[in-house]
Amino acid sequence: MNFKGSPMKRALLIPAFLLACTADTSWASTENEFLDLDLSQLMQVKVTSVTKKPQELADSAAAVFVISNEDIRRSGVTSIPEALRMAPGLQVARISSNKWAITSRGFNGFFANKLLVLMDGRSIYTPAFSGVYWDSQDYLLEDIDRIEVIRGPGATMWGANAVNGVINIITKKTTETTGGLISLGGGNQEKAMAGLRYGSQINESMAGRVYLKMNDRASSELSSSGQDGGDAWTTCQGGFRIDGDNGTEKWTMQGDLHQGDNNQHLINLSLIQPPWIYSNDDNYDTLGWNMLGRWNHDFSADNATTLQIYYDVVERQEFYLNQDHNTFDLDFQHQLRLGSNDLIWGLAFRSTCSDFTKTITVNSTTSQVSFSPSTLHHDLYSGFLQDEISLNASIFLTLGSKIEHNDFTGIEVQPSARLLWQINNQQRLWGAVSRAVRTPSQIEQYGTMTTYVIPGMPPTVATLGSNEQYDSEEVIAYELGYRFSPRASFCLDLATYYNEYEKLRSYSASPYRNFTNNMYGSNHGVELASTWQAQYWLSLQLAYTYTKNNFHLDSTEDLSSAPVAKGSSPAHQLSLRTALDLNDQTHCDFWLRYVDKLNVASVNAWSNDWVVNDYVELDISLSWQISQQLKAQLVGQNLLNSSHLEFIQESFTARTELKRSIYAKINWDF
């Protein structure tokens, strides 16, 4: 089969082909338990990340999308970042075999800094550069209950840096994972995958589990030559969880230990001798562990408290920088209903200690990356109050604000107002106005990066330097959403937004480039998600995202940073997932994706060739229920191209393309 024409044309032709292929399926089973579900139940899924309390998805006054465990299993994804491609409003771009750029509603990059990511309520946002090191975030996918994706500000509940969205990865309760699981697989890119988990009911009120996971992934390929990209990696992670429940009190203890042996192909600078720009292969290590405890006490059905404590250690040793971060976090919240008011308030404290060691210089005095001082300690104090007010039986107003004190910019206030109208059983209309901030990262206040080269022989090296006066970035966000489920077989979720930004990161025009706050502008967009149960054996899930960016700088600023903000996220994204049941035991899933082009003119680039073309890709997953305990799966990923480019990192690493991947996997439950 040969698809000709533009990527957009191919994106429209392939769904038609898939539907044609499934037209004559009278032999399919009529007893499928997954696809025969009433889709209205999807709107009744309980989510907790919007208001820090359980509520039905349909009644959330926010743009929410839930990726279920069944979505993860049937799609055939092998990592959390790949699963996030299902959510509208997110841009997920794989930079290399072990690096991702993930954002919500614009501003993408390896150091994307406006999306807060949580694992069971534990923040995995790095303080050094802002954003998330996705190569260190993993879990046994079979034990993930769901991933809640909130697009738009979540700062009122979660605090600074939840500017354009919040992702909360929620694992299953231990009572849902009793027994054993062995998972084995491998292929050309996913060279080896192994998972082991065992859970048990300890007593009437307590259950626990332990798990171990290992992955060995092959390299991507260099865009310039098609040779090995030098970014193969292996990861190993293990952990435990224990849950207790005696009715009025519930508690959880859990912990994880992870280690990664990673590789990357670096582009480095030298002022000592030619060649001035050179590349080298770097083998870098990641290591970390965490412990979390959570205690819930229910005084009554309308009066409950939660106390959560965690300690998180992250170590990362790369060619240009070694960094260690130790974080202690204490969080308390209280929910209380008083008449028509559903109140929730809380207090929190976080302390972070970071150590940095420079490892490479471009000459005898200039470091590639450095921090001064090399040891940093920062504390964060916060409190929030939110009140959901029942104006009548169908209209609910939610008012709240978060107040924080940080060591960079002092006191920050982040309020929001949300209104939900339950028009009838089939329709919901909601709107929101919010303010959120992105507080400075450690490098913006204390660091220096030497990454910019003006072509020449020898080249002129400029730096990106810290600025103690660097302020928080700000956004005022306006959102409007509509949910519609006219019948049990169809549901639609539409969200629109307009964001006004101030004090965005920019760079002074002098040869020594400081971080400044002189960029401003706006973006707006539309996000659509719909599910249609076309037949009892066929389900279609469509997601579409449109984003338009408009940013400017003061006339005294380097104009190269505005095109980065404008062009680092695609204007259009389209995702179509088709779940087909061939019979009771055999399932076939197609996942088609279209991503518009990127005009990424990086401020750190020494080359002007930073455009990423639009692309179409297709994943196919075939799964068999061999027996009650044994499942097999065959997955093909990125099948339409032998390799393709998705993103170009802002600095350091070479440009690489992802290769077509095929793997097989088998799961044994016992």
Answer whether residue 49 shows pLDDT above 90. no
pLDDT number for residue 350: 97
Answer whether residue 550 shows pLDDT above 90. yes
pLDDT number for residue 319: 82
What does the pLDDT average to over 567-586?
95
pLDDT number for residue 553: 84
- What are the domain boundaries of the chain? 7-669
How confident is residue 648, by pLDDT bands cut at 50, 70 and 90?
A: confident
pLDDT number for residue 372: 87
Secondary structure of residue 132 in the 3-state scheme: coil
Highest mean pLDDT among 261-275, 458-472, 613-627: 613-627
Extended strands (E) in 159-248: 165-171, 179-187, 190-203, 206-217, 221-222, 233-245
What does the pLDDT average to over 24-31?
34
β-strand partners of 433: 417, 478
Answer whether residue 559 shows pLDDT above 60. no
What does the pLDDT average to over 172-180?
97
How confident is residue 48, by pLDDT bands cut at 50, 70 and 90?
A: confident
* pLDDT per residue as tens digits for the range 358-404: 766 655 555 678 888 999 999 999 999 999 999 999 999 999 999 99
Answer whether residue 37 shows pLDDT above 60. no
What does the pLDDT average to over 283-296?
96
C-alpha distances (whole Å) from 617 to each of 48, 105, 136, 614, 637 are: 33, 22, 26, 10, 8
pLDDT number for residue 30: 33
Q: Residue 59 — left, alpha, or beta (φ > 0 → left; ψ -120 to 50 → alpha)?
A: alpha
Higher-confidence position of 461 and 68: 68
In whole angstroms, what is the distance from residue 57 CA to residue 48 CA?
9
How confident is residue 29, by pLDDT bands cut at 50, 70 and 90?
A: very low
pLDDT number for residue 273: 52
**What is the rounded average pLDDT for all residues in the chain?**
87
Percent over 70 (pLDDT), the chain? 85
C-alpha distances (whole Å) from 137 to each of 75, 191, 214, 215 are: 19, 19, 13, 12
pLDDT number for residue 562: 76
In whole angstroms, what is the distance from residue 404 CA to residue 381 CA?
6
Q: Quickly list DSSP for 626-665.
A: -SSSEEEEEEEESTT-SEE-----SSSBPPEEEEPEEEEE
pLDDT number for residue 35: 40
How confident is residue 303, by pLDDT bands cut at 50, 70 and 90?
A: very high
Which residues, 6+ apart, have CB-to-CB distance to 244 below 8 Å? 205, 206, 250, 251, 252
Q: Rounded to the nearest 5 degrees, what angle is found at the Cα of 167, between the Cα atoms of 164 and 171?
A: 175
Q: Residue 328 — left, alpha, or beta (φ > 0 → left; ψ -120 to 50 → alpha)?
A: beta
β-strand partners of 289: 257, 313
pTM confidence score: 0.90
Answer whether residue 561 shows pLDDT above 80. no
Cβ atoms of 319 and 282 closer than 8 Å: yes
How confident is residue 346, by pLDDT bands cut at 50, 70 and 90?
A: very high
What does the pLDDT average to over 329-339?
96
Q: Which CATH number fits domain 7-669: 2.40.50.1020, 2.40.170.20, 3.30.420.10, 3.40.50.1820?
A: 2.40.170.20
Which residues, 6+ apart, have CB-to-CB distance to 204 below 8 Å? none
pLDDT number for residue 129: 87
Task: Kindly report which listed range (144-148, 263-267, 570-574) carries the lowest average pLDDT score.
Answer: 263-267
Answer whether residue 42 shows pLDDT above 70. no
In whole angstroms, what is the distance from residue 252 CA to residue 205 CA?
12
Higher-confidence position of 609 and 232: 232
pLDDT number for residue 605: 42
* pLDDT per residue as tens digits for the range 492-535: 999 999 999 999 988 876 656 788 898 999 999 999 999 999 99
Neighbours of 476 (CB within 10 A): 15
Percent over 90 (pLDDT), the chain? 69
Distance between first and last Cα of the chain: 42
Which residues, 6+ apart, have CB-to-CB distance to 224 below 8 Å? 654, 655
Cβ atoms of 657 and 620 closer than 8 Å: no
pLDDT number for residue 557: 56
Residue 483, phi then psi, degrees to nearest 5: -120, 140
What does the pLDDT average to over 584-609?
78
Among 524, 525, 528, 523, residue whose Cα is nearest residue 544:
528
Secondary structure of residue 4 in the 3-state scheme: coil
How confident is residue 21, by pLDDT bands cut at 50, 70 and 90?
A: very low
Neighbours of 364 (CB within 10 A): 7
Side chain identity at 288, as an amino acid letter?
Answer: G
What does the pLDDT average to over 310-339?
94
Structural tokens at position 642 = 């032998």
